[in-house]
């Protein structure tokens, strides 16, 4: 169908994860910075709307098929927060994983329910005005752990404890994380949809 796509993100961790998966299928994932794509506004209240907006935006500026994800962590006791604000939960100046983690730990400190889940919505558009974007969603459930553990992953991973694995997401191997994470689950669903084209 295509051999190159642009990733509507500047996140190096996401580029590595998506790049590995698509490379196995002969598809090169290029960062949107290669095409000087300006930052896309994300005014929408849902992961899916923001992902669609980012995919169309990257495709418009690059002229290539584009893949966007909108993802974040949702704490049940906080009504789903930080949700779409996960990357900038503690503010934008500058965005900081450590500050975001500290803020979420503080907000959950007095809560009995520490359950949380990662959400990933992937949107692939074949061109800017694609009338039928491919949309896939993955949800990964865990429990918030105040103490950070592990050096892998990124974002909230050092605090995201997985009962079945007995460790945090940051302590998983890259291979395991790619298979069981919200992003891995969404990628598997996206692959099935691509294979049906």
Domains of the chain: 4-195 (3.90.950.10)
pLDDT value at residue 19: 87
CA distance 45 to 43: 7
Angle between helices 12-23 and 182-195 (to 10 degrees): 40
CB 145 within 8 A of CB 139: no
Overall average pLDDT of the 151-161 stretch:
93
Contacts of 92 (CB under 8 A, 6+ apart): none
Mean pLDDT value across the chain: 93
pTM: 0.89
CA distance 53 to 15: 19
Contacts of 98 (CB under 8 A, 6+ apart): none
Helix (H/G/I), strand (E/B), else coil: 7: strand
| CA neighbor of 58 nearest in space, from 32, 97, 86 | 32
Residues that are catalytic: 70
Residue 79 pLDDT class (50, 70, 90 cuts): very high
């Amino acid at each position: 169908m295509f051999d190159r796509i642009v990733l509507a993100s500047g996140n190096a961790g996401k580029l590595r994860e998506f790049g590995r998966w698509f490379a196995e299928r002969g598809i090169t994932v290029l960062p949107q910075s290669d095409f000087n794509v300006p930052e896309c506004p994300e005014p929408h209240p849902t992961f899916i709307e923001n992902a669609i907006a980012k995919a169309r935006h990257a495709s418009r500026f690059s002229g290539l098929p584009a893949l966007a994800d909108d993802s974040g962590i949702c704490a049940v006791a906080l009504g789903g927060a930080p949700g779409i604000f996960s990357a900038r939960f503690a503010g934008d100046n500058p965005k900081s994983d450590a500050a975001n983690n500290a803020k979420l730990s503080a907000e959950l400190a007095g809560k009995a329910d520490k359950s949380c889940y990662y959400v990933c919505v992937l949107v692939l558009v074949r061109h800017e005005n694609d009338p039928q974007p491919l949309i896939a969603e993955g949800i990964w459930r865990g429990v918030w752990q105040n103490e950070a553990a592990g050096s892998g992953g990124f974002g909230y991973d050092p605090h995201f404890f997985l009962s079945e694995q007995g460790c945090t997401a940051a302590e998983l191997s890259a291979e395991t994380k790619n298979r069981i994470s919200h992003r891995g689950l969404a990628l598997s669903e996206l692959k099935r949809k691509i294979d049906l084209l």
